[in-house]
Amino acid sequence: MASLKAGLTCRDLDGELVVLDAATGYIHQMNPTAALIWKLLDGGTSIESIEARLSEEFDLDDAEARRDVLGFVEQLQRAGLLEAIARDSL
């Protein structure tokens, strides 16, 4: 499971999400798919549950949903927006 970095400011703008990381000054814009994954990264929702929800919401097959979730989580890690992620949950 992953949890989001503390101290981020988020705003929903017509289905897209804008995240400000005040510590770095970076602004991250997320499309509706990324916004849903972001909202589910609460530290209590498993990666598998996020994949299932994404598959359901956007009519994706399991492989597409897994690829999208894992790819986005990797991007968040590189950007320093995640506190922690349990490797066994991937």
Please state whether beta strands 8-13 and 16-21 pair in parallel, antiparallel, or not at all (unpaired).
antiparallel
The band of 12, judged by pLDDT with boundaries at 50, 70 and 90, is very high
Domain 2-89 has CATH 1.10.10: yes
**CB 88: neighbour CB atoms within 10 A?**
7
Tell me which residue of 22, 27, 29 sits closest to 6, measured CA to CA. Answer: 22
Would you say residue 1 has pLDDT above 80? no
Residue range 26-57, pLDDT digits in tens: 999 999 999 999 999 877 889 999 999 999 99
Question: Where would I find the beta strands (DSSP E) of 14-60?
Answer: 16-21, 26-30
Taking each helix axis from N to C terminus, what angle separates 62-79 and 47-58, rounded to the nearest 10 degrees? 120
Residue 43: the pLDDT is 78
**Mean pLDDT across the chain, nearest whole number?**
88
Would you say residue 2 has pLDDT above 80? no
